[in-house]
Structure 1
Amino acid sequence: MSSQKLFAFLLSLATVQMAFSGDIDVLTDFLLPPKVTQVDSNFFTFTRMRALVGAPLATNFTVTTASLPEFPALNGQSVSYAILQFPAGTSSPLHEHPRSGELLFLVKGHLTVGFVDTTDKLFVQKLQKGDMFLFPKGLVHFQYNRGKTIATAISAFGSVNPGTESLPNTLFITGIDDTILAKSFKTDIATIKHLKAGLAPRT
């Protein structure tokens, strides 16, 4: 096989891989759940956010999502949302979304946000009400409320199911061997066990 044909073949494989890495391509106006043949306007309406209106202020970092598991009408539409509530002094765990970027819109309070790119460069910004910030797809990021009042943000995603991989949980409660973790973090097993104990669910 000539180098040109090999390059074309590899390029076509990469293109196919990119096509399958995102949401499905819809060939109809919308997709219905299995065994559903007719829908009305209620199918396209999501009402669970009503519970946030007038509710007591959150006391812990809270995420309320409108993604495919909660809202089947989103299937094939490449969009989802989350409402994030940050009481004073709280933060999201370090995390990333493997299937989508995140566009955060701060509607109340102040947040310090940031992400790390693949060259290990840290980007940090202090946001105030009305600001937006983009977390690129697949990059580790955080949000932290340094203020004295609650902060509320709306996050939009370019996937019906962006996924969330929490680094503390992924690293320390999934059963990765303590020796491997200790070597990776250049520390000792006792420190790893201490970190794991702090993440273990309280009984």
Structure 2
Amino acid sequence: MSQHHLGWLATVGLVPMVTMPADADPLKDFCVADNSTGLTINGFPCKPAAKVTVDDFTFGGLTKAGDTNNKNMAPAVTPASVIQFPRLNTLGISAARIDFAKGGINPPHTHPRATEILLLAQGELYVGFVSTNNTLFATVLKAGELFVFPKGLVHFQLNVGESPALAFAGLSSENPGTQQVAPALFTPDIKDEVLEGFRINGKTVDMILEAEFRDM
């Protein structure tokens, strides 16, 4: 086979790699989700355009502080994803309000479908993420500062200030998903031998499982 043909075949072979698609861009000005249908196959159907009003483009769900009164010191996360704010359908973006009590912690978790940018509006937060080579990137945020958590990486926030803290997050998916690391792994359905890979013994695994399900 000639060098010319070999070069042509190599070029053709690379085309699928170069043209692999990302999430599709919207083909309409808007597609307000019609959640009444119950269909959620990788998105929601559109509400008929004739029934869309200006109210569909406004969401007041982040105006009120969440309840942080719980024994686990967990923050109150108020999401504004396509589920709560149907107008976000097809736009690839969402938001959340996060209220922290003094000492409150948002434990290690991931957003499998989104990068998150966090704006601290009030207080002080120790925030960080761990890269895939297990490098920690962490700092203390002051009010008005931003921090970004790359898509899919384990990250956390801890209120280290002397008062409650308030943050707002923007996420690069209308349905980013959240997976808490500890509850995802420490479940009776996973064999103890697997969890002992955290360099803990079976007795410690049992203690963690007992505490995990006692606090649920």
Q: Normalization by structure 2: what TM-score?
A: 0.81
Name the CA shift for 1:36/1:190 in 2 (closer, same or farther; >3 Å). same
Q: Name the aligned partner's letter for residue 86 of structure 1.
A: F
Deviation at 1:58, TM superposition (A): 3.1
Structure 1 residue 186: deviation in Å? 2.3
> Higher Cα Rg: structure 1 or 2?
2
1:188 paired residue number: 201
Instruction: Report the Cα distance in structure 2 between the residues aligned to 1:201 and 1:173, rounded to whole angstroms.
Output: 12
Flag structure 1 segments of 5+ consecutive residues without an equivalent. none
2:170 maps to 156
User: Which AA in structure 1 matches 2:91?
Assistant: Q
Q: What CA distance in whole angstroms lies between the structure 1 residues aligned with 2:168 and 2:215?
A: 30
Q: Which runs of 5+ in 2 are unaligned?
A: 35-44
2:205 maps to amino acid = I
Kept in 1, the 8 Å contact 2:186–2:209? The answer is yes
CA distance in 2, matches of 1:112, 1:173: 28
Aligned partner of 1:198 in structure 2 is: 211
Q: What secondary structure, in the 3-state scheme, does the structure 1 residue paired with 2:193 have?
A: helix
CA distance in 2, matches of 1:118, 1:7: 32
Counterpart selection for 1:48 from 57, 61, 68: 61
Q: CA deviation at 1:10?
A: 6.0
What are the residue-to-residue correspondences of 1:4-19 with 2, within 5 Å? 5=9, 8-9=12-13, 12-13=16-17, 15-16=19-20, 19=22
Structure with higher RCO (Cα < 8 A, 6+ apart): 1
Q: 1:114 aligns with which of 118, 124, 128?
A: 128
> Matched residue of 1:94: which SS?
strand
The 1-side partners of 2:214 and 2:16 are apart by 46
Q: Give the equivalent residue in structure 2 for 1:28.
A: 28
SS at match of 1:163: coil
Shift of 1:96: 1.1
Q: Secondary structure at the match of 2:199?
A: coil
- The farther-off stretch of 58-67 and 4-13 is 4-13
Counterpart amino acid of 2:153? L
Closer, same or farther: CA 76–35 of 1 in aligned 2, 3 Å: closer
Which one of 164, 167, 170 corresponds to residue 181 of structure 2?
A: 167
The one-letter amino acid of 1:36's match is K
Give 3-state SS (helix, strand or coil) of 2:151's partner.
coil
How far apart in 2 are the matches of 1:68 and 1:97?
A: 15
Aligned mates of 2:102, 2:8 — CA distance in 1: 59
Asked if the contact 2:31/2:46 (under 8 Å) is kept, the reply is no
2:42 counterpart residue number? none
Q: Deviations over 1:77-131 (max 9, x none)?
A: 1110011111111110101111111100000000011111111111111111111
2:77 counterpart letter in structure 1: V
Match of 2:68 among 55, 58, 63: 58
> When the two structures are aligned, how many residues end up with a matched partner?
195
Q: Which moved more, 1:170-179 or 1:118-127?
A: 170-179
Given the superposition, is the C-alpha separation of residues 3 and 123 from structure 1 closer, same or farther in structure 2, using an over 3 Å criterion? farther
Counterpart for residue 193 of structure 2: 179
